Structure 1
């Protein structure tokens, strides 16, 4: 009887651990999809916008950019233009290491830059 009870406890623990791993996997996939929705920009969109365009028009073409990944994208790029506010995105070109930066000043796109993550 004690042996059977030990087996049941072991199976229950394995089941709970299996469910926990499954939940963590689903959560992780959800975070990856969330990052993709908020930070990936098509290179065609990057090429289409020009310095001097209205900030509202440029931002309307871009995802929100609000992601935990954004802070990591800031490192290693060229210096930001003085007095500007910048947004960072990843290129959806497929290589996953190209950062696209859009900097705004006085309601207009002041500069755009692309660089590789270091």
Structure 2
């Protein structure tokens, strides 16, 4: 009887661990989808906006960009313009290593830059 209970407990532990791994996997997939929704920008949008355009108009065309990967996107890019606020995105084109940066100052797009992520 003790052997049977040991096997039952072992099976229950395996099932609980399997469910835990599945939940973590789904959570991870959800985070990846969330990052994609908040950071991917179509290169056509990048090309369409021009330096000097209104910040409000430009930001209306962009996703929020607020994700935990923002610090990784900052690495390797050109220096940010002084006194500006920048947002970093990933190009939705086939190459996911292209970073698109938009910097705003005084309510206008002060600079846009694209570069390869390191």
- Provide, for residues 50-100 of structure 1, a one-character-per-residue CA deviation record: whole Å limited to 9, x for no partner: 000000000000000010011111111001111111000000112211100
Q: Give every structure 1 segment of 4 or more consecutive aligned residues whose post-TM-superposition deviation is greater than 3 Å.
A: none
> What is the match of residue 83 of structure 1?
83
**Equivalent-residue separation in structure 2 for 1:20 and 1:83 (angstroms):** 46
- Give 5+ residue unaligned stretches, structure 2: none
> What is the match of residue 116 of structure 2?
116
Task: Report whether the alignment pairs 1:43 with 2:43.
Answer: yes
**Equivalent-residue separation in structure 2 for 1:13 and 1:96 (angstroms):** 40
Report the CA distance between 1:101 and its aligned residue.
0.1
RMSD: 0.6
> What is the match of residue 67 of structure 1?
67
> What is the match of residue 100 of structure 2?
100
Compute the TM-score of the two structures, normalised by the length of structure 2: 0.98
- Give 5+ residue unaligned stretches, structure 1: none
Tell me the secondary structure at the aligned position of residue 113 of structure 2: strand
Matched pairs, number:
118
Compute the TM-score of the two structures, normalised by the length of structure 1: 0.98
> What is the match of residue 6 of structure 2?
6
Report the CA distance between 1:13 and its aligned residue.
0.4
